Structure 1
């Protein structure tokens, strides 16, 4: 179980199949494999030994996929750097796991000097962007052209494959240690439930430094299928690429999906090639599922829930639960059931399993669960207890094992002694016809301890006031759950993965 085996298999069985499309560049698997083997040789010549960390600070591209496979082919460990981080956060992650080589593209090359000055041991910079190679860096293309291809190192099983840093804006980031076995065990159950479309084209919009983007790329590699990449999410560009390349499937977060559906040029594009859409990273927003299926009545729509520490998939809600009958029953609001090989329980604060229908914390056990946090034994001990990963996510489970997320436990609002789960309030608000996006947080209140506060983005051309929204909420949820205060904004702060940054709203 080593992650380069899938590349070796495709090189043997289907080498002339298209591997990557990025802008004007196209590579077959034969070409991709040759570049990967040469990149591995170049990295080894720069000092990458078995288990050594190599970072990449870049937007999505075909070179990012070459970095992933090239580092593993040469026996190294990935450290994909969050592109939303400040330089101190970047430097912390590099220093924390002693990353000696850092690949950057044209979007982040300007940060190199500040990184070089503030790291304990400045990494060797490799420039993987377009245009001239900056002074003091090596060129990605020149290294590949000059290097000799090397044999696959074949590291796998319990060998460390990746350190993915999570968090970082409210404290030091934590490096999640993922082995080859962890990643393999996370991808294979998804392959069983929903194998990639044979002969299809997957569009990578989700950032590859994020575990969701990485895992979906690995599933495509396991199937030996083709990747289409864009540097980041732009609604118009996404519509254009789907039409131009005849994309068959993609992974998006709800905020991206809603932006596509709301784009004024949506109807101009032929999106008939799109057969499958997976959404994740946050619960569905109100009537998003209805909107998608109204525009794409035959699409296979599925939802995945997970976290970096689970590499990432915990559960999947398959297309069969997005039918009209399932939507009436409420199953479409679930995040699905635990995947093959993944044990899931809902427990109380003492770790005891709670009755079905009772809210508690999701805990997970399986071969996909991380090895721990790099250099953080105390944090590891808090998260991994008796073989179970404590996720910090609040949810309840029905009699058939379907999970329904209610909140991050730390985001739960306690108002007048009553627990209020933000996801429940958000789902009601998001169903209002004037609401495009919303987020609910708790704010200090002298009488109630905390009060429910909503931040709302209206759809273009729509208007609604706070009192109208409060009255709307009272039709569906108890009065104490309804927002006491509502503010309207033009946009919500989002992470690079498309999640709403509630910590920024609280600030």
Structure 2
């Protein structure tokens, strides 16, 4: 087939959603100089999202923490008070306000208050070392920095410049809660939809973290595009009307798994206002599958969103069947590829749930492609079709669009694509072309309109001139009944260039050995893809967002092999 740009088109039969004046009416407008599809009747900025949906959802619970519950009304009132507190300390439009903290109530409200003020959230990674925190602060140059206890200790060790004003995040706690008689109004500063809103730092696996700068437009556009899929489903496959006297539909709810310094944290935060959802926050600390199951049962949680590693731990929990998970009707996430074996397990353990996974990244606020519904059964090894209001291309090293079925770099365009990297024009120019196509750095192919993710470019292994995509081998390994986790990396070889190394975490009681691993892979994959080296570990190294730190594995294994 010929080279193609894959463009999302409104589905047939759902015209009522796109009619003039309808919530999802679509038009084409210039976005930063490039014509893009946008929602005609959209809100103008994140502050308008706060006020518009607070008016709709009011006294419904929005944020449920172990120590405090805030309704939508409470969040708006608290936001106004914190924004006034910021203004007293000199925060104006365009300033950065940095946060280094676990997910606590004052962080969430501080996030809203920063954006309502026209300032920019600098989302410092809570797992960073003192040196990394210093880098984030020197790059974003915040007017104010907020930290919780553990992060405050690291900040003080970092040797911050004298002009950096640092506050303990608990200083905002007294400003949280319901409306008060003397409450200030929300800020009224003008905010354009293409003004910067949030800095999300890259994982830094290829060097110093860069700060992806997301705009108000990005945060307004994404939830509309995300909720469009549900609206289309409701039109094309309407559910029967509830019987007379039936209980009112439950408020949508989910457990907040993602940290607020990551796209998996900020997306649920903004989307909850569109959907009127209750977000249940676990206690501060390491994520626990047991706590996740307990909170699901306690709050009758309806939605689970997590990375593959967390789903494996949840679904293989020895006491999974002892918990009531019947309330879970929506399951999905992103952050890494979901193997067909994991999708099968999700369907088995949560048969009542609608499955949906996606492919995206911080630079696109998680947008790119989406796989859900019956498509999961048809193309379980894929990451789905182009997401609503997005465009996809696969390009070669010369930036030419390749023929369908050929592997190349995945490129994404749409109103959800970021502004660029903060204070890094060179990196921005490398990532965004003149037509605002974002070069993702991921390899993939499109076959019959379906996107298959092959590997990150830096993860690809070249063995004797053969390109090897680790994901293919990892999926095969995860199908083995005795393998809990697997990661595949390339290690140096003086003749072949690289060899395949597989790092395996076994399930308890397993007797699988290296020869068994190689035999298992060789039964399905070509000989050159069979791991030369098989290393067994108790655990894989992960970053704060659940991604395997392959560069660490590569370095460790290379050193071990060199040492003999």
Q: Same fold (TM over 0.5)?
A: yes
The 5-angstrom pairing of residues 34-49 of structure 1 reads 34-49=77-92
Q: Within the alignment, does 1:433 sit opposite 2:481 as a pair?
A: yes
Large movers: runs of 4+ above 6 Å: 195-198
1:164-187 deviation line (CA, Å, top 9, x unaligned):
111335522211111101222233
Aligned to 1:80: 123
Equivalent position to 1:60, from 103, 112, 122? 103
In structure 2, relative to structure 1, the CA distance for the partners of 1:169 and 1:424 (3 Å cut) is: closer
Q: How many Å apart are 1:118 and its aligned residue?
A: 3.0
Of residues 456-465 and 196-205 in structure 1, the stretch that sits farther from structure 2 once superposed is: 196-205
Aligned to 1:70: 113
Q: Within the alignment, does 1:390 sit opposite 2:439 as a pair?
A: yes
1:236-291 deviation line (CA, Å, top 9, x unaligned):
11111111111110210000001112222222211111111112100013511111
In structure 2, relative to structure 1, the CA distance for the partners of 1:16 and 1:241 (3 Å cut) is: same
Q: How many Å apart are 1:144 and its aligned residue?
A: 5.5
Equivalent position to 1:160, from 174, 182, 196? 196
Cα distance between partner residues in 1 of 2:365 and 2:257: 19
1:186-225 deviation line (CA, Å, top 9, x unaligned):
3321111136997211211121210122112211122232
Equivalent position to 2:263, from 201, 207, 211? 211
Aligned to 1:121: 163
Aligned to 2:138: 95
Q: Within the alignment, does 1:419 sit opposite 2:455 as a pair?
A: no
Q: How many Å apart are 1:293 and its aligned residue?
A: 1.1
Q: Within the alignment, does 1:466 sit opposite 2:498 as a pair?
A: no
Cα distance between partner residues in 2 of 1:213 and 1:485: 37
Aligned to 2:281: 229
The 5-angstrom pairing of residues 25-424 of structure 1 reads 25-115=68-158, 117-119=159-161, 121-128=163-170, 139-142=171-174, 148-153=183-188, 155-168=191-204, 170-194=206-230, 199-230=251-282, 231=284, 232-322=286-376, 326=377, 329=378, 331-387=379-435, 388-399=437-448, 401-424=449-472
The runs of 5 or more residues in structure 2 that have no matched partner are 1-43, 235-248, 556-564
Aligned to 1:136: none
Number of equivalent positions: 489
In structure 2, relative to structure 1, the CA distance for the partners of 1:144 and 1:273 (3 Å cut) is: closer
Q: How many Å apart are 1:343 and its aligned residue?
A: 0.8
Aligned to 2:14: none
Greater relative contact order (CA < 8 Å, ≥ 6 in sequence): 2
Q: What is the TM-score with the length of structure 1 in the denominator?
A: 0.92
The 3-state SS of whatever aligns with 2:46 is coil
Of residues 252-261 and 64-73 in structure 1, the stretch that sits farther from structure 2 once superposed is: 64-73
Q: How many Å apart are 1:340 and its aligned residue?
A: 2.0
Cα distance between partner residues in 1 of 2:205 and 2:451: 29
Aligned to 1:133: none
1:1-46 deviation line (CA, Å, top 9, x unaligned):
2112222123323311111111142121122211111011111111
Cα distance between partner residues in 2 of 1:310 and 1:14: 28
Q: How many Å apart are 1:429 and its aligned residue?
A: 0.7
Cα distance between partner residues in 2 of 1:120 and 1:301: 50
Q: Within the alignment, does 1:448 sit opposite 2:496 as a pair?
A: yes
In structure 2, relative to structure 1, the CA distance for the partners of 1:51 and 1:383 (3 Å cut) is: same
Q: How many Å apart are 1:156 and its aligned residue?
A: 3.7
The 3-state SS of whatever aligns with 1:443 is strand
Aligned to 1:8: 51
Cα distance between partner residues in 1 of 2:127 and 2:521: 34
Of residues 466-475 and 176-185 in structure 1, the stretch that sits farther from structure 2 once superposed is: 176-185
In structure 2, relative to structure 1, the CA distance for the partners of 1:320 and 1:119 (3 Å cut) is: farther
Cα distance between partner residues in 1 of 2:312 and 2:195: 40
Cα distance between partner residues in 2 of 1:221 and 1:3: 10
Cα distance between partner residues in 1 of 2:218 and 2:333: 22
